[in-house]
Copies of this chain bind each other. A is one copy, B any other.
Amino acid sequence: MTNAKPIQLRGQPIAAGKLPLVCLPLVAGTEDALLAEAKQVLAKKPDVIEWRADFFEQVGKVDAVLACARHLRQMTGVTPMLFTCRSASQGGQPIELSSPQVAALCEAVCAARSIELIDFEMDNALEDVQRVVASARGTEVTVVLSHHDFDATPRFDELARRFRMAQDLGADVAKLAVMPSSLDDVLALLNATFHASRLLAIPVVGMAMGQVGSVSRLIGWMFGSAMTFAVGSRSSAPGQIAVDDLNAAIASLRRACGG
């Protein structure tokens, strides 16, 4: 039914190769609130937990980030954690760190081995991308190189180029999120995701955001997208679906399509 390649961790597919993986974000601003949020989110049994560190009030203090990551790690147990410090230009919270500082933070988080996956935007300076990729390689962290377009959905060729670019930069996972203005754009995103899932050697994650795009979060796996992001506690991007509704919809699609 699906062409999606499973996302791996140290050579092993996460959640025994389940497709799609369901990732739930943590978006609280303080460590206490994050630990409370993690408890709530873990009850939803996500395959991956994403810590959106750009929401963390102390994101500018490396020690505070590392301590929080360690404490989250103690709570998440076997559930892999994805560390993401999204830039404001790609939908993140405004923070004071420069791109090289975010890269340095990512390096430090990899080195501390409190996380299993790391997201870094492929638009960053090449040397920053290379630093993060090298750091992740050396610490067996899975690297997601991502791009988010909150304004529009690029044409097929540009979407394909972006997926390819992530692989060429050394990603373990290529992730694209776009904003559709109509269902045509949603079909274009699915089309590009499907093509990339066949052409590339690495797993891909593709989604169309917003209300118009929300169907892509449910059916993207059929078109090769290895992971989908849903709401456990609070949403981290427009169009995310409550995880219970998402799980129910995917299960019934799977039953209906025999996939």
Contacts and interface: CB of A to CB of B under 8 A. Distances in A.
A181 to B, nearest CB: 13
Q: Does more than half of chain A's interface fall in helix, strand or loop, or is it mixed?
A: helix
A226 to B, nearest CB: 15
A197 to B, nearest CB: 10
Interface string A245-259: 110110111011110
Interface residues of A, number: 27
A258 to B, nearest CB: 7
B252 A245 contact: yes
Copies of this chain, tallied across the complex: 2
Interface in A175-207: 183-184, 187, 190-191, 194
Interface of A: 3, 183-184, 187, 190-191, 194, 211, 214-215, 218-219, 222-223, 241-242, 245-246, 248-249, 251-253, 255-258
Contact of A258 (B191, B211, B248): B211
B252 A248 contact: yes
Given A242-B256, A249-B252, 10 more contacts: A183-B194, A187-B187, A187-B190, A211-B258, A215-B219, A218-B253, A218-B257, A248-B256, A251-B252, A252-B252
Contacts of A214: 256-258
Contacts of A223: 183, 187
* Most chain B CB neighbours (cut-off 10 Å) among A184, A223, A248, A252: A252
**8 closest Cβ pairs, A-B complex:** A249-B252, A245-B256, A249-B256, A252-B252, A214-B257, A248-B252, A241-B256, A187-B191
A215 B257 contact: yes
A249 B245 contact: no
A232 B218 CA distance: 26
